[in-house]
Structure 1
Amino acid sequence: MKKTILIVDDHTLFAQSLQGLVNSFQEYEVIKVLKNGQELVDYFNSNNKRPDIILLDIRMPIMDGVATMSWLKDQFPEQKTLALTMEHDEEIIIKMVRAGCRGYLLKDIEPEEFLYALESVSTSGYYFSQEIEDVLDHPGTKNYGNLSNREMEFLNYACSEKTYKEVAEEMNLSPKTIDGYRESLFSKLQVKSRVGMVLFAVKNNIVKI
């Protein structure tokens, strides 16, 4: 039986091309193409067949990808969803990952890698495009037993939407000390961005999404 895909993207030409590509894969088929998050909400609330994977754009009218992902997290937390977008923004990636997005792909991805992404999400649960992985320095499952309690506390704050300045206030520390924690974690976790820390924390169940 083929795995089912639901596309949510307001760009009609792209969505139709994506549908054709997915349907060309032997093990996958598109069951519906929707234009925004509200249409997805209506689709789910009408008790239609739930897909194995949702391909979700970020920038959409009425209800965008971030709001849609938040709704899915609240209503259907087990739903596997891949972001497929042109948005390459650290803050948006963090929001999507914290909301339960299983992967983040850029729309210029090659078909072969796209198929691999679908298979990875289906089997292992997560996939991020090569360009995103390059930014993140391939955060995987590593030993984090050498993190201090304060570093773990900082890591949890870093996975929120708080700015580093707000984190410093929450921890009653100076911005300079917070910078030191950040650089220490970058080194210990072998990542080079805040997104990398978030993915590390999510994959290792340090923070709950």
Structure 2
Amino acid sequence: MINIVLADDHVLVRDGIKALLEDQSGLMVVDEASNGKEALEIVAKNKPDVLIIDIRMPEMNGIEAVAEINKRHKDVRTLMLSMHDSEEYVVKSIKAGADGYLLKGASKEEFLKAVNKVASGGKYFTGDVSSIIMNNFVSGNTVSFEDSKPAVKELSVKLTKRERQVLSLVLELKNNKDIAEELKISKRTAEVHRFNLMKKLEATNLQELTIKANEYQLV
């Protein structure tokens, strides 16, 4: 049994990940955290096999938390789960000691593959960033950072193919049930995609989402 701790400041995201993980035999979510400091306390208490942690959280961000966990609990494997695929974030995560880096838009199959790979002692870095970032890191071509905190906002927003499909339907005023039926996914998955879109575009309602989608030329 692989014991897992989840750390993300959004309950909906944690619920979706937990449901996905516990639907698989051999995986168990033993506890959850809503920020980096809480993650440190919970890891110290539970000694999980794997910590799955978001980057941008209050109190202490995921990269800072992973750096501390790598110092205090070297047996705990860490998987960064982020919506950002920038070189800066990935290299900072590697330098902090993360064992993997996965995008929130990853498929169910890739997500489970990453968790099992990290839990078994391997490394997993998602898609296009893996070869570029790892090659740069191994060769010593590191990125310079002004501080230890992630950038507040990126100049562009990158969405997965599925997120673009969901966004298009959301802007057509479709509800989660309709989106799930049209894309042949579960209602919970549709809810998670909608939530991730709102977070990526830093929107709090449909009007703001529409404005941001047009601003970033996503539709």
**Residue number in structure 2 paired with 1:174:** none
Q: Does 1:11 align with 2:7?
A: no
**Residue number in structure 2 paired with 1:184:** none
Q: Does 1:159 align with 2:159?
A: no
What's the TM-score, normalizing by structure 1? 0.63
Tell me the C-alpha RMSD between the 2 structures.
2.2
**Residue number in structure 2 paired with 1:53:** 50
Identify which of 54, 68, 72 aligns with 1:71.
Answer: 68
**Residue number in structure 2 paired with 1:201:** none
Q: d(CA) in 2 for partners of 1:138 and 1:161?
A: 16
Which AA in structure 1 matches 2:113?
Y
Q: d(CA) in 2 for partners of 1:113 and 1:162?
A: 30
Gaps of 5+ in 1: 140-151, 164-209
**Residue number in structure 2 paired with 1:119:** 116
Q: Computing the radius of gyration over CA atoms, which structure comes out larger, 1 or 2?
A: 1
Q: 1:76 to 1:159 in 2, by over 3 A?
A: farther
Deviation of 1:72 (Å): 1.2
Which AA in structure 2 matches 1:159?
T
Q: Does 1:136 align with 2:132?
A: yes
Q: d(CA) in 2 for partners of 1:125 and 1:24?
A: 23
Which AA in structure 2 matches 1:7?
L
**Residue number in structure 1 paired with 2:23:** 24
Q: Deviations over 1:184-206 (max 9, x none)?
A: xxxxxxxxxxxxxxxxxxxxxxx
Deviation of 1:40 (Å): 1.4
Q: d(CA) in 1 for partners of 2:133 and 2:69?
A: 28
Which AA in structure 2 matches 1:77?
K
**Residue number in structure 1 paired with 2:201:** none
Q: Deviations over 1:27-53 (max 9, x none)?
A: 1010011101111122244xx221111
**Residue number in structure 2 paired with 1:88:** 85
**Residue number in structure 1 paired with 2:105:** 108
Deviation of 1:124 (Å): 4.4
Q: d(CA) in 2 for partners of 1:129 and 1:160?
A: 19
Tell me the secondary structure at the aligned position of residue 46 of structure 2. coil
Q: 1:26 to 1:64 in 2, by over 3 A?
A: same
What's the TM-score, normalizing by structure 2? 0.60
